[in-house]
């Protein structure tokens, strides 16, 4: 396991170094500045808005819903929430240009709906797993 972990860390480090080299060698200073601003905004939005909102909704769901349902709902929220946020510009077709029909040329709503259904299936699976785990615990305590 340590070898696999070390290999994955090494592979990730090489990938990041290659990406940094591509960024620094092929982009001008204005584009690099935009990337840095975008990365900083992503961290601020995730850590300042998204993570606290998910924690608050998870806490609220844990108080209002049965445990199994709350775990399933949190699973759906964690999987689907960031994806919807990322999909908003694509769904709104921000950046579409009439002179370039290859930009935003798909039905992205359909893909998001399919992904949402898969997230709901994952949430149901987590809820069923929680219920099954509780049944096993009760059966083990009774025997």
Please say if the pLDDT value at position 143 is more than 80: no
Q: By C-alpha distance, which of 35, 110, 119, 32 is closest to 79?
A: 119
- Report the chain's mean pLDDT, rounded to a whole number: 91
* The predicted structure's pLDDT at residue 8: 97
Give the ranges where the chain is alpha helix by DSSP (H): 2-26, 29-45, 51-64, 67-91, 108-142
Q: How far is CA 44 from CA 48, 52, 99, in A?
A: 5, 11, 35
Please say if the pLDDT value at position 31 is more than 80: yes
* The predicted structure's pLDDT at residue 58: 86
* pLDDT tens, position by position, 69-123: 999 999 999 999 889 988 998 998 888 888 888 888 888 999 999 999 999 999 9
Q: How far is CA 113 from CA 11, 27, 80, 106, in A?
A: 34, 36, 10, 14
CB 103 within 8 Å of CB 142: no
What pTM does this model have?
Answer: 0.66
Average pLDDT for 47-53: 90
């Amino acid at each position: 396991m340590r070898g696999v972990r070390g290999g994955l860390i090494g592979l990730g480090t090489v990938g990041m170094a290659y990406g940094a080299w591509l960024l620094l060698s092929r982009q001008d200073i204005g584009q690099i500045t935009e990337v840095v601003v975008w990365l900083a905004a992503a961290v601020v939005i995730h850590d300042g808005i998204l993570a606290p909102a998910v924690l608050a909704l998870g806490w609220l769901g844990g108080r209002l819903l049965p445990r199994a349902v709350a775990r399933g709902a949190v699973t759906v929220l964690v999987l689907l929430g960031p994806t919807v946020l990322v999909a908003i510009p694509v769904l709104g077709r921000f950046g579409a240009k009439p002179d370039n029909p290859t930009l935003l040329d798909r039905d992205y709503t359909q893909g998001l709906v399919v992904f949402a259904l898969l997230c709901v299936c994952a949430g149901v699976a987590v809820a069923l797993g929680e219920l099954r785990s509780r049944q096993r615990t009760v059966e083990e305590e009774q025997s």
